[in-house]
C-alpha cells in the first residue's frame, strides 16, 4: 500500500490549515518521503523502464504551503537544470501526480516544463501536442482511462499552468482509487512516455510551432543528447525489426491464402541478413510480379504517419516505381500492431510530402 487513505486526508487538511510548510509535521514526511519511496519500491518490483535514471521527487510548497502538491518522476537526462545540476519540474518533460487543492482528487499526467512561459503560451503549445496524441488515446489500450483536456487543481496561476501543460491525464479519488491500479497505470504511462520521447519529443523537425512564433528550443547537454540518441537508435532498430518480421509473415500468409504456395516460399526478408538494398522484403503479387517492400514502423498511433526515407531508398523507389512499396506499421510490439497503409510507387503518390532534413555540402578550400 502506498499510504493510508484516511490518514492522508486528515493530515492533509491539518497541514494545509497551518499555511506554512513544516518538516516536522507527519504529513510532510508522508508526502515528501514515504509515498515517493513506496512508489519506487512498487515500480522496482515491476522492473519499470529507465527507473534507474529517474528521480522521484515530491513537493508541498516552499515556505508557504502550495495550493497544489505534486510527486514527479524526473528523468535526469530530460529535466536537469544545467545551473544547479538538479532535476526540476520547470524543464523538459516528465510524468507527475498532481494533487488538487481539495485533497480528494489527484491526476496522473505527462507534463512539459513551463519555465519562462506565460499561461497563454503554454496553452497554445500544449494544444498542438494534445492534437498529436488524440489517435493514441483512441486506439491504444495502454492509455485506457486517460484523457486529454483541462481539469481543476486550484485557482492560482501555478496550478493553472500545471493543468495547461498536461498532455494526457487520468483522474483518481483518494477514497476510491486502487493502489495496485495506480502503480500499473504509472508503469503503462511510462512505457508510452519513452516511446513518445524517442519518436516525437526529441525530433526537432516535428516540434510544435505556435502561430507567429519560433519553435521553442529544447536545450539538452551534448553528452546527454548523445546518450538519448543512441537509446533512440537502439529502440528504432528493435521497432523496425519487429515490424519487418510482422510484414514478412503477413506477405507469406496472404500468398498462401490465394493458393500461391511457391511464391510464398520465395518471399525473402533480405534486411534480416543484409543491408543496403533500399528495401527490406522481396515479395510478390499474386500474379507473380515483384513487390519490393520498405517497412516503416512506429510504436505509436498516428493520424499523419511520419517516417524517414534514405537517399538509397528514394533512388530504388524512383527506379522500381510500381514494384516498390512502403508499408507503414503502427503500434509495433503490441496486440494492436497492424499495417495502416501500403504506398505503391511512393514517389508518384500525391499525398506523400517529402521534406529534405539534411544537406550535403562541399567547398574548395585552396
5-206: CATH number: 3.30.930
Write down the domain spans for the chain: 5-206, 243-348
- Residue whose cell numbers read 493510508: 4
φ/ψ of residue 260, rounded to 5: -100, 65
Provide the CA 205 distance to its chain's centre, in angstroms.
16
State the pLDDT at residue 227.
77
CA dihedral of 14, 19, 24, 25, whole degrees rounded to 10:
10
State the pLDDT at residue 53.
94
Question: For the chain, which ranges sit under pLDDT 70?
Answer: 204-223
pTM of the model: 0.86
Strands annotated E in the chain: 54-62, 64-75, 80-81, 86-87, 93-99, 105-112, 166-173, 281-284, 290-297, 324-330, 338-344
Amino acid at each position: 500500500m502506498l499510504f493510508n487513505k484516511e490518514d492522508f486526508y486528515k493530515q492533509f487538511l491539518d497541514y494545509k490549515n497551518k499555511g506554512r510548510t513544516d518538516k516536522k509535521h507527519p504529513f510532510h514526511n508522508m508526502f515528501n518521503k514515504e509515498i515517493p519511496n513506496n512508489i519506487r519500491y512498487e515500480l522496482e518490483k515491476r522492473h519499470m523502464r529507465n527507473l534507474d535514471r529517474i528521480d522521484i521527487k515530491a513537493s508541498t510548497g516552499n515556505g508557504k504551503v502550495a495550493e497544489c502538491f505534486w510527486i514527479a518522476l524526473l528523468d535526469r537526462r530530460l529535466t536537469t537544470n544545467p545551473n544547479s545540476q538538479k532535476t526540476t519540474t520547470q524543464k523538459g518533460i516528465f510524468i507527475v501526480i498532481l494533487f488538487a487543492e481539495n485533497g480528494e482528487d489527484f491526476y496522473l499526467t505527462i507534463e512539459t516544463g513551463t519555465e519562462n512561459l506565460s499561461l497563454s503560451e503554454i496553452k497554445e503549445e500544449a494544444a498542438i501536442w494534445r492534437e498529436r496524441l488524440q489517435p493514441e488515446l483512441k486506439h491504444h489500450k495502454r492509455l485506457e482511462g486517460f484523457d486529454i483536456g483541462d481539469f481543476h487543481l486550484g485557482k492560482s496561476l501555478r496550478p493553472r499552468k500545471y493543468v495547461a501543460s498536461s498532455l494526457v491525464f487520468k483522474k483518481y479519488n483518494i477514497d476510491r482509487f486502487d493502489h495496485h491500479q495506480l502503480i500499473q497505470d504509472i508503469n503503462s504511462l511510462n512505457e508510452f512516455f519513452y516511446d513518445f520521447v524517442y519518436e516525437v519529443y526529441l525530433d526537432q523537425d516535428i516540434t510544435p510551432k505556435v502561430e507567429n512564433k519560433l519553435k521553442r528550443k529544447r536545450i539538452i547537454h551534448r553528452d546527454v543528447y548523445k546518450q538519448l540518441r543512441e537509446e533512440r537508435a537502439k529502440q528504432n532498430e528493435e521497432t523496425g525489426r519487429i515490424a519487418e518480421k510482422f510484414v514478412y509473415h503477413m506477405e507469406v500468409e496472404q500468398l498462401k491464402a490465394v493458393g500461391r504456395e511457391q511464391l510464398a516460399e520465395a518471399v525473402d526478408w533480405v534486411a534480416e541478413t543484409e543491408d543496403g538494398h533500399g528495401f527490406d522484403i522481396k515479395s510478390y503479387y499474386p500474379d507473380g510480379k515483384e513487390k519490393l517492400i520498405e517497412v516503416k514502423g512506429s510504436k505509436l498511433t498516428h493520424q499523419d504517419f511520419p517516417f524517414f526515407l534514405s537517399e538509397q531508398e528514394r533512388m530504388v523507389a524512383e527506379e522500381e516505381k510500381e514494384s516498390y512499396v512502403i508499408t507503414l506499421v503502427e503500434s509495433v510490439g503490441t496486440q494492436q500492431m497492424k499495417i495502416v497503409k501500403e504506398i505503391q510507387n511512393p514517389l508518384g503518390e500525391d499525398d506523400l510530402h517529402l521534406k529534405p532534413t539534411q544537406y550535403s555540402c562541399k567547398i574548395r578550400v585552396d
